Amino acid sequence: MTYCREQNIQIPESDLEGMSVDTLAVRAGQIRTDQLEHSSPIFPTSSFVYGSAAQAAARFSGEESGYIYSRFSNPTVQAFEGRIAAMEGGERAVATASGMAAILSTCMALLKSGDHIVCSHAVFGTTNGLLRRYMSKFGVETTFVTLNDLEEWAGAVRPETRMLFVETPSNPLCEVADMAALARLAHDNDALFVVDNCFCTPILQRPFDHGADIVIHSATKYLDGQGRCVGGVVIGSEPLMTEVFGFLRSAGPTMSPFNAWVFLKGLETLPIRMRAHCDNALELARWLEQKSAVEKVFYTGLESHPQHELAKRQQTGFGGVLSFCLKGGREEAWRLIDATRMISITANLGDVKTTITHPATTTHGRLPPEEKIIAGITENLIRLSVCIEAIDDLKLDLDRGFQALKNPSTGSI
């Protein structure tokens, strides 16, 4: 495309080459109609029209490029895909209806019956359930291993292993996997290395720089950033994404144009939001470490975190999620949660509003008891998604919880 500033239709992607992820967050994947609107347009339409029957045929056969039907082609969705692919440094992205749809589409498109996955125990509970309960029905078995035990990963690989799947840092214990080592292991064994980058986003971590073949996001979290929509995305090389796109076109776990538009807007503020999340989470983690009622704090930014150095090598920030164990069990955890007044009791994370969760009875509640123990999901564990309220107000609200622990008869201060 010849770039003509007077017409100002699009910024060609080549003009953005080498630019920072902060710039790509607001400029990549931009589309502009003849109306020359400044904000991204939204195309809430299920289908597109053709000038003639011949043109319709050419579009369907692929002879002519252009939009056909929003199950698999929509300009707003494509704009979101272009922007997140540029930010992650991947060739192409395929947007999906949810983060789980992104994981399902990746598995369905790239694996077949008889293939084997190695996955860390420490993953989002529903990811575990999808692999354990549903992929196994179609002949794809999964072995779960300790996230930071490379020997266990290597020992679990079989001749039929075609995928290594990891979430780093993990949900909710913030364990960190050595991505370069896992990428080598995967590639030595002709397997794909897939990273769920939900907790860090491309602002804090770019898994392709460490050898990943595929990056997955639940866009529902930080990419949206204001808790409005559910969505997901898979990013990778053109040949791999052609396969994922083929599954999406046939099966239909598609992102809606409205959600894509919300995510496009969310991406524009992602860099500044992520920095605010990191600042508040680090301060709160240090504060929680000083509390006598707290047994342990899990946050990669703390020097006490066993993979703090690895996190510093792989990440440019430590993220907004932290967890902590109270002295006690479920009763103490619930009492602290219930005594907060401002922080939202909800399972979502990555919103601008701080949320508090009891993983053992919510996000990881459906894990079999033995899996819960292995994954470190104990009854005294609380997860915080630390967001952008004033840090002193977050401390004040959590202190209501700590007061309630001292004074169990009232349940609150």
Please tell me whether residue 98 binds ligand PLP under the rule CB under 6 A: yes
Please tell me whether residue 171 binds ligand PLP under the rule CB under 6 A: yes
Please tell me whether residue 232 binds ligand PLP under the rule CB under 6 A: yes
Please tell me whether residue 175 binds ligand PLP under the rule CB under 6 A: no
Among 81, 88, 115, 167, binds ligand PLP (CB under 6 A): 167
Q: Under rule CB under 6 A, which residues in 122-151 are in contact with ligand PLP? A: 124, 127
Among 122, 140, 198, 288, binds ligand PLP (CB under 6 A): 198
Nearer to ligand PLP, 253 or 335 (CB): 253
Which segments within 73-159 are labelled E, that is strand? Answer: 92-96, 116-120, 141-145
Q: How far is the CB of 198 from ligand PLP (least distance, A)?
A: 4
Contact 298, 323 (CB under 8 A): yes
Please tell me whether residue 99 binds ligand PLP under the rule CB under 6 A: yes
Pairwise CA distance, residues 362 & 365, whole Å: 5
Please tell me whether residue 351 binds ligand PLP under the rule CB under 6 A: no
Q: How far is the CB of 165 from ligand PLP (least distance, A)?
A: 11
Nearer to ligand PLP, 124 or 324 (CB): 124
Stretch that binds ligand PLP, among 31-39, 82-90, 93-101, 265-273 (CB under 6 A): 93-101
Q: Kindly report the length of the chain.
A: 413
Pairwise CA distance, residues 289 & 336, whole Å: 16
Q: Quick one: 205 exposed, middle or buried, by C-beta within 10 A (0-12, 13-18, 19+)?
A: buried
Contact 233, 259 (CB under 8 A): no
Contact 225, 231 (CB under 8 A): no
Among 74, 76, 201, 220, binds ligand PLP (CB under 6 A): 220
Contact 366, 301 (CB under 8 A): no
Radius of gyration of the chain (CA): 22
Site residues for ligand PLP per CB under 6 A: 98-100, 124, 127, 167, 171, 196, 198, 218, 220, 230, 232
